[in-house]
Amino acid sequence: MAQFTAETAKTGEWKRQPNAFTDRISRDSTSAPGEGPDEHRRWPVEPGRYRLVVSLACPWAHRALIVRRLLGLEEVISMGIVDPIRDESGWRFTLDPDDRDPVLGIRYLAEAYKGTDPGYEGRVTVPTIVDTRTGLVVTNDFPQITLDFSTEWTDFHKPNAPRLIPDDRAEMDQLIEEIYRDVNNGVYRCGFATSQEAYEAAYDALFARLDELEARLADRPYLLGDDLSDVDVRLFTTLVRFDAVYHGHFKANRQKLTEFPNLWAYARRLYQRPGFGETVDFDQIKRHYYVTHNTINPTGIVPKGPDPAAWLAL
């Protein structure tokens, strides 16, 4: 059985649903909130107006959490955290009084989706940015969110915030595309495949790309050289989950991250850098995957290992 039948092709291949809400928050917005001339409606940059909803378990949300912290946007864009265990109604707010988000006043993120599009039938996903004035979803377009944090919110970056997007983006954008296809989404294509052929194709692409990244990191600290960039954040959130979840749960088991010398050293280097390790919650990561994916792990047993202390080794 497929974990998500609507996103599984007849061939058994996992095909992730498109992001339904793709508006942009833009520093150059001259239109009214939620209006714009192109396919992406524009909302104005406004401190305190928007709420970033994340799960600490989700790698897509994790990247937004890291970039928000690296750039010093914590006081500018508020954040709500959902429970790592989804039920039949989706992501739940259980960490606050009355099981409601204290800013949005909702129990489930799905309430904001339905309030924005009453006919919405897809999966409710994180990260999602919600307008606190109207309760409307601005975006769940996770590939764009961190880029906009870097380019549209520059007036509110902390002093000496890292420049996560280089002036010449061509190399970074190519890496982002390759890593998303084969690694970030590739582990899901392994884990959610329902045919041997689809699984093996995803598996082969995943490890071929990891081999390339292992070689790339032989002579440089970061993927683009000496400087941290947005693509490093994107790779890190998959690597930090690899041995704890993807290696066993998603059958991505040719070798562990700890068995790639350069990738393992690179991942530990990032983990120990401010903004990274303190945003990792291995308990929530493991409980989400092993309990929520009931077709893959019907017993719901959560493994004890691996030991997170290994991430602190030099």
Last residue of a domain, one of 156, 180, 208: 156
Q: How many structural domains does the chain have? A: 2
Q: Do both 176 and 242 map to the same domain?
A: yes
Q: Do both 150 and 174 map to the same domain?
A: no
Rounded to the nearest 10 degrees, what angle do helices 59-71 and 230-241 cross at?
Answer: 130
- Express as a percent the part of the chain with pLDDT over 70: 96
Q: Do both 134 and 249 map to the same domain?
A: no
Q: Do both 290 and 178 map to the same domain?
A: yes
Identify whether 271 is a catalytic site residue: no
Burial 130-165 (b: 16+ CB within 10 A, else e): bbeeeebbbbbbbebbbbbbbebbeebbeeebbebb
Identify whether 266 is a catalytic site residue: no
Indicate left, alpha or beta for 303 from its phi (over 0: left) and psi (-120 to 50: alpha). beta
Q: What is the mean pLDDT of the chain?
A: 95
d(CA 134, CA 112): 10
Average pLDDT over residues 216-227: 98
**Residue 143 identity:** P
Last residue of a domain, one of 126, 156, 186: 156
d(CA 249, CA 253): 9
Q: What is the pLDDT of residue 222?
A: 98
Burial 170-202 (b: 16+ CB within 10 A, else e): eebeebbebbbebbbbbbbbbbbbbeeebbebb
Main-chain phi, psi angles of 44, to 5 degrees: -80, 145
Q: Do both 21 and 109 map to the same domain?
A: yes
Q: Is residue 187 part of a domain?
A: yes
130 SS3 class = strand
Q: Do both 112 and 201 map to the same domain?
A: no
Q: Do both 32 and 150 map to the same domain?
A: yes
Q: Is residue 183 part of a domain?
A: yes
Average pLDDT over residues 51-69: 98
Q: Do both 85 and 205 map to the same domain?
A: no
pLDDT in tens, 162-206: 999 999 999 999 999 999 999 999 999 999 999 999 999 999 999
Q: Is residue 2 part of a domain?
A: no
Q: What residue spans of 85-221 are helical by DSSP H?
A: 109-116, 142-151, 170-179, 186-191, 196-216
284 SS3 class = helix
Average pLDDT over residues 43-56: 98
Q: What is the pLDDT of residue 37?
A: 44
> Which residue reads 């995943």 in tokens?
206
Of 166, 306, 150, nearest in space to 222 by CA? 166
Contact 270, 62 (CB under 8 A): no
Q: Is residue 95 part of a domain?
A: yes
- Express as a percent the part of the chain with pLDDT over 90: 91
Q: Do both 237 and 280 map to the same domain?
A: yes
Last residue of a domain, one of 121, 156, 191: 156
Q: Is the pLDDT of residue 38 over 60?
A: no
pLDDT in tens, 98-107: 999 999 999 9
Other beta carbons within 10 angstroms of residue 211's beta carbon come to 14
Domain that holds residue 89: 16-156
Q: Is residue 189 part of a domain?
A: yes
Helix (H) or strand (E) holding 290: helix 282-292
Q: Residue 179: which CATH number? A: 1.20.1050.10
Q: Do both 308 and 174 map to the same domain?
A: yes
Q: What is the pLDDT of residue 134?
A: 97
pLDDT confidence bin for 36, thresholds 50/70/90: very low
Q: Is residue 3 part of a domain?
A: no
Q: Is the pLDDT of residue 9 over 50?
A: yes
Q: Which of 50, 113, 188, 246 is catalytic?
A: 188
Q: Is residue 165 part of a domain?
A: no
Q: Do both 109 and 150 map to the same domain?
A: yes
Q: Do both 229 and 106 map to the same domain?
A: no
Q: Residue 69: which CATH number? A: 3.40.30.10
- Better-predicted residue by pLDDT, 111 or 38: 111
- pTM as predicted: 0.96
Q: Is the pLDDT of residue 44 over 60?
A: yes
Q: Is residue 162 part of a domain?
A: no
